[in-house]
Chains A and B, each alone.
Chain A
Amino acid sequence: MFKFIYNGIIRDINRSLLPIIVVTLGVFFTIFLSGWIQGVLFDMIEINANFTNGHVKVMTQAYAENESQIPNDLAIIGVEELMDSIEKDYPEMEWVSRIQFGGLLDVPDKNGETRAQGAAVAKAIDFSNEKEIERLNIRKALVKDNNSRLPKKSGEILISDDFAKRFHVNIRDEVSIIGSTMYGSMMFSNYIVCGTLRFGNQLLDKGAAIVDIADARRYLEMEDASSEIFGYFKEGEYNNENALKIKNTFTHKYTKDDDEYSPTMKTLTDDQNLGVYLSMTENMSAIMVSVLIFILSIVLWNTGLIGTMRRYSEFGVRLALGEQKKDIYKTLIYEAIIIGLIGSITGTVLGLIGVYVLQENGLDISGMMKNITMMMPTVFKAKLTPNLFYIGFIPGLLAMILGNALAGRAIFKRNTAKLFKELEV
């Protein structure tokens, strides 16, 4: 009987082609869109982790409260000791210091007079740590056509290509950052531009500069201080469960309620925006899958009805030949399973290929994102994750079975007494 059903499906294109196409398309789009959403989410988490939040981040409680104003006067003092201690406590993490500071980026002319000036947020990182360079994607962001390179010695700075173009700053030009030290006195720091950066991200590309943390410490009078200590899992990927465990033990040991300069820890998901995105994305996947099942079922119900109408006389003959209604119904369900499998497998394969292509190549939407200053990637990528192997497959198969289970009920309404009459035509 299986062969009979199978041959029917293979030979009767009308029976199989439309449902296969419907299921394939439905499954394909589900997987493709889910993969895309996951890719965007993953990129967003990565960027957030790498640039702003770390997997976990240590600050003083006072700094954490006003984090957005980067109040370096509230930075952690005694960083070396704290670093030694947490490196011992959490050997599974890599700990790095960073300092952010705001100021005026000043471009002087030949005579030392101000030629151009713009607000800038500078990031100070440890250029001797190759991992940090990778994390911030600096090598890739270096603009290629003007001989940009990483800082090699003290006093060199990387500035955003946007800023450089706007103020006609060239490589090897001198620039200054004017701001204030940790203790509130005027800071005037001089740098030589050794490269320009283009991250492809509005926020990062707008008036940003990167200097070595040793230089920044000297200028900001932060020799044994750091505004932020970032912790990254050595395994690479963010793990919320472990991050929360670390946060708990850290808080227990280091955070003191009565001392606002004692350190506190934030995990990546403590970032409110990110948390919202995360739950939004999860809901969206669930909604998408439900909508898929719903729409597909209705479409397939209808193709199923057309099918039972088209095969009216076939079912009539089968009833006359003594096949029971429930057995005919069963064969319809088997057909649906086979067709659903073919469609779902095809759709899944195509969807996974689509996601893979998008994952490898990305889709540049920076043109549409000109005015958006969210921490969001402007090259949309997809991410191939294990759940994509079933997220479309199961709904596709279920919808096919459900649609045909509904359509097939027509069999039970057939009246055998009318068969001779019906089969006369």
Chain B
Amino acid sequence: MIVETKHLIKKFPVGKSFFTALNDINIHIDKGEFLGLVGPSGSGKTTLLNIIGSLDVPTEGNAHVLGKSIKDLSAKESAILRNRHIGFIFQTYNLFPVYSVYENVEFALLLQKKTASERKTAVMQALEWVGLTDKAKARPNAISGGECQRVAIARAMVKNPELVIADEPTANLDKANSFHILDTMKKLNKELSTTFIFATHDEKVMKFLDRIIYLEDGKVINDETIKTESL
């Protein structure tokens, strides 16, 4: 079990009252799933990802991620959980502009205090996964958006996390690039059994998913497991 939520409720203060962004979410996500949270804007996808990614805490109920009780984690413990075990991919790649592709990927390992040779092996491996070994020395502004997102995938994958969380990873990409990165992630999901959780509106993404959890107004309205067509 990678993720489990029990009666998870998230409320945000709005003026004097509260807005319930997540309302009694109960889900289980197993190792190796390739799963999407789908729903209209404002349905609570990002809010749920935040809690699973230990960036935020539930208001009521709880979530267990990789065996850790999210609501009980200190800031330090949640930082360590993210650092060691969870990879993040953002809609706008958010690479460090002054560092090379190599250094961007390496950064996650610097935080783990890995030795230089350990870092080198892991970074080159990650760049190979995403097909960017030849761009290792390039700066983000010298490569395309699709390549940037592949660097972001390499950055998330380099530490070999159990779980990768991606919020609208294809929102800024064209069709071909979207396919390419999803293909890459799917391959990694198969080869390394890394669990992927997406939040998405994107039809193109949905085709790749093994399982889709539909959210609406902070509630799970449907949870379906799909047989993906292999591409």
Contacts and interface: CB of A to CB of B under 8 A. Distances in A.
Interface stretch (B33-41, B91-99, B174-182, B222-230): B91-99
B18 to A, nearest CB: 15
A320 B103 contact: no
Interface stretch (B107-115, B124-132, B208-216): B107-115
A416 B167 CA distance: 15
Contacts of A416: 55-56, 78
B56 to A, nearest CB: 4
Nearest to B54: A416
B99 A322 contact: no
A314 B96 CA distance: 6
A235 to B, nearest CB: 56
Given A7-B98, A320-B55, A424 B111 contact: no
Contact of B82 (A8, A321, A425): A321
Interface residues of B, number: 33
Interface in A320-347: 320-325, 327
A421 B50 CA distance: 10
A321 B88 contact: yes
A420 B99 contact: no
Contacts of B84: 322
Contacts of A39: none
A321 B111 contact: yes
Contacts of A1: 110
A420 B103 contact: no
Contacts of A323: 79, 83, 111
Contact of A324 (B79, B91, B107): B79
Contacts of A83: none
Nearest to A319: B79
A420 B94 CA distance: 11
A419 B53 CA distance: 11
A324 B99 contact: no
Given A322-B79, A323-B111, A424 B99 contact: no
A313 interface: yes
Contacts of B53: 320
Given A314-B96, A321-B88, A321-B108, A7 B50 contact: no
A424 B90 CA distance: 7
A417 B56 CA distance: 5
Given A420-B50, A421-B46, A4 B91 contact: no
A23 to B, nearest CB: 21
A424 B91 contact: yes
Interface string B64-106: 0000000000011011111110101011101010110001000
A317 interface: yes
A316 interface: yes
A316 B99 contact: no
A321 B108 CA distance: 7
A245 interface: no
13 contacts: A7-B98, A313-B94, A314-B96, A320-B90, A321-B155, A322-B83, A322-B108, A324-B75, A420-B46, A420-B55, A421-B46, A423-B90, A423-B94
Interface of A: 1, 4, 7-8, 11-12, 313-314, 316-325, 327, 416-417, 419-421, 423-425
